[in-house]
Structures are given as structure tokens and as C-alpha cells.
Copies of this chain bind each other. A is one copy, B any other.
Amino acid sequence: MSSQPRIAIDAMGGDEGVRVMMAGVALARRRHEGLRFILFGDEARLKAALDRHPNLRAASEIVHADSVVDGSEKPSVAIRKKNSSMAKAIAAVKSGDAGAAVSSGNTGALMAMAKLALRTMPGIDRPALAAMLPTLGDNDVVMLDLGANPECDARNLVQFSVMGAAYARIALDLEQPRVRLLNIGTEDLKGTDEIRDAAAILRATVLPLRFDGFTEGDKIASGECDVIVCDGFSGNVALKTAEGTARFVTDVLRRAFTSSIRSKLGFLISKPAMHLLKHHLDPNNHNGAVFLGLNGVVVKSHGSANDTGVANAVHVAARLLEEDITRRIAADMANVPAFARPAPMLEPAAK
């Protein structure tokens, strides 16, 4: 083990293959000079891919892995593949050989393996899946949970708020992120008991975040907050609905632009504008979903990410490792006194 913690890379997971993974990791290394890696996967293919990236090769150890977790494999089946590149990358975090793992593989399998091997950190009941989404404001917004926990109680939502704020402080470089709970209205009485109880705890607790109450689906991209907290069901619905709507709008536009010669001409002239839109919506620019709340950092890169996308995911892992997010979350959780008692019995100390 080196003094500088290394990042474990599951090199086999992406749809785009080992070459794109290696190109992405090499890109990330240029941004983080001292960073070192353990690359898990088919040794021969890894060595061939590294021929193009001598600097990355010099900073990496290759560890052969016999098998690969398939994209369509059920998590319950995948977790038995102890010799897969994914399992070995997570095992490296567990043993301390690496400080973080990055994979472009099957999300469900990665989540199940990471939870089983790394366990949730002290003070956290359940890990959550967090990601950055683009906004019209000054910075992206962190949203969690995006699907790890379909049902959540007030304690879960408070813990997600603390974890999401810690992530935003590091990844968005904000001192006191503005946090809101996703709801179906902004009035105090709106929503479920779980959401109202979580709001009461967050109002009564001093944390390195600013709790601003509730937000709604139409404000996710508005830039009014830095962290949006919700259960994994509504988070997943919101994330996918946003993807689907962006596709719908651009599709209608594409059809419209090809419907007449005049529009076609206009489209050609305004290509830079369309390019900017594409840049805003390109998931590669927001790549790297993070499992928060585990004893170790695990980052999921999108299966179809290109080299820039993979580099962004590795960058996220490197930043969370450098800033020791796990320690930060543990320190913040110590300030949540409500958790000694069951959440619904809590009487807020201050309004």
C-alpha cells in the first residue's frame, strides 16, 4: 500500500470497452498529477489498451480478473462472481489497497456488491445514490436518492441531506449548500409524514448546510438550491422524466428543423446554438453517480460514457477521496441529536 491512496478501476464495465475506460482514466490523471490506480480486468486487453497511455501505465498496477458482470445480470447473481473485475475493485477498497472504486458496470450489481462488502458507515442507516444535474443557476444541483431506496423514513431523508450537503461542499466548492426536500407543494402541510418529520429535524439542527424547506419538480433545474433530497422512487422518476423530456423536446425540434428547406437553412446557420444545447444536455458533462454512506467511496460512471465522461467520474472519486467525505459525513452526523430518539416523537427545539 502506498501513502497516497489509489483508485480502483473496474476496467471491464462500460458499453464502450476497455479502450474508452483507459482513455478516460488517462485524461483524469492529467488533472490529478499524483493520483495512482489499480486496474482490474482482462490482463492482456488492459496491457494492449495501456500502450497508448505510457503515463497512466507508469501510475498503475494491473490486476487480472477472470470474469465480467454483465449489464443485464441480476444483482443477486452478480454478487456471487467474486473474481469479476467489479467485485475485485470493491474488494480493494474494503482491504484498504484503494481509497475509492470507479465502475461503468451494472448499477444494481455495483450497489449490491458495494453495500455487502463495504457496509454502511456508522450513523447512517442506508446508503444513497447521488448525482449532479444541470441547472439554469450558477452551479449544478446534487440530487439524492436516485433509486437505491424506493421507500424512506424521516431519518433516511435527514441522513441523505447531511450526505448530499457534504458532497456539494466538496464537488461544488460551496461552504453552506442550500438544501431542500422534494415535495408536491411548498406549504408546511404538504406531502407525507416522512417528509414533514424530516423537515422538522432539519430545521432544528445546526449543520453546515442551509435548509430552505420544500421544492417541487419544476424547480429542480431552476438553480434555487444546491442539494435536492427525496426517496429513491420519486428521485428515480424525476431523473428519468427529465431525461425523457429533454429527449422529447430535442426530438420535436429535430423533426421541426428538417420539415422545410427554410428551417434546414436556419438550422445550419444556428449550429453553434444547437451545439451549446447539446453540451448542456450531454450526460458526459455530469457523469459520475456516487454511492454515499458506505465505508469507502464508490462512483458509478454511465455505461455509455465516452472518455470525457469516464474522466469526470474518476475526477469525482479523486475529489471525494482527497477531501475525505466519509470522515466529513461522520462529523456532521454527530450534530444530529434527534437520532437518539425515534424521529416522529421529536419536538423541534427551535423554529
Contact = CB atoms under 8 A, between A and B. Distances in A.
A59 interface: no
Given A217-B236, A263-B270, A269-B269, 14 more contacts: A151-B192, A191-B233, A216-B240, A217-B240, A241-B245, A242-B242, A252-B281, A253-B253, A256-B276, A257-B273, A259-B276, A262-B270, A267-B270, A267-B273
Interface in A250-293: 250-253, 255-257, 259-260, 262-263, 265-274, 276-277, 280-281
A109 to B, nearest CB: 13
Contact of A237 (B182, B249, B256, B259): B182
Interface in A190-241: 191-192, 216-222, 230, 232-234, 236-241
A243 B263 CA distance: 26
Given A147-B184, A252-B280, A272-B256, A220 B244 contact: yes
B218 A240 contact: yes
A242 B248 CA distance: 10
B277 A249 contact: yes
A124 B226 CA distance: 41
A246 interface: yes
Nearest to A264: B270
Q: Which 9 A-B pairs have the closest CB atoms?
A: A266-B270, A217-B240, A266-B269, A218-B244, A217-B241, A256-B273, A245-B245, A221-B248, A218-B240
A136 interface: yes
Contacts of A222: 244
Of the candidates A220, A221, A273, the one having the most CB atoms from chain B within 10 angstroms of its own CB is: A273
A238 B241 contact: yes
Contacts of A269: 262-263, 265-266, 269
A249 B273 CA distance: 12
18 contacts: A135-B248, A136-B248, A182-B237, A184-B236, A184-B237, A191-B233, A217-B237, A221-B247, A230-B237, A241-B241, A242-B242, A252-B276, A253-B273, A256-B270, A256-B272, A259-B273, A267-B270, A270-B270
